[in-house]
Amino acid sequence: MATWEEYKKTMVVEPLIFEEARNGNCEALKQYLDFGGGLEIRNFKGHTLLMLAAYNNQEDAAEFLIERGADVNSTDDMGNSVLMGVCFKGHARLAELLLSNGARLEDRNPHGMTALDLAKVFGRKEVVSLLSDRPASWADPMEVACRLIARKLSRPTPEA
């Protein structure tokens, strides 16, 4: 059995500022940045402050971070952009905010999916409607699913 000290070493502790971003605490974010905190700091999953605010539907905090210069096209450790995350979650107003501040609609994650693809697959109709009015590739959900299956099948399988 591991000792408490050994167990503590396995725990992931992230700075409190990430929780403030999730909760949309603009005042805490402002103080953090005013005292020299990094705007593009990342947690253990590669999420930035903007990603956490946006994924948790914290519009004011996301807008504040964008005004301070947050990268609207940053990607996490899985290769998903901020826009992909808000489209997956179904946050249409945040998708609009990101797009109006330069987020790229055509970016693809390592699985070949765009923000629009994610919105379709997860049934985010309001987001699909918003994004379908913009110039970008359009794929129906079946096409997206087939693309994912084809990619999975094209990978070599480990030898037994």
Q: Which residues lie closer than 8 Å to 17 by C-beta, 6 or more apart?
A: 28, 29, 32, 37, 41, 49
Nearest to 37 by CA among 11, 16, 67: 16
Taking only the tens place, the pLDDT of each residue in 126-144 is 999 999 876 544 445 566 5
User: Please, what are the domains in the chain?
Assistant: 4-154 (1.25.40.20)
pLDDT of residue 137: 44
Taking only the tens place, the pLDDT of each residue in 70-129 is 999 999 999 999 999 999 999 999 999 999 999 999 999 999 999 999 999 999 999 999
State the chain's mean pLDDT as an integer.
Answer: 87
pLDDT of residue 6: 74
Residue 35 amino acid letter: F
Q: Dihedral of CA 141/45/90/95: which sign?
A: negative
- The tokens of 15 are what? 């700075």
pLDDT of residue 160: 46
Q: Give the DSSP per-residue string, 86-100.
A: HHHHT-HHHHHHHHH
Taking only the tens place, the pLDDT of each residue in 3-58 is 777 766 665 556 899 999 999 999 999 999 999 999 999 999 999 999 999 999 99
- The tokens of 46 are what? 């590669």
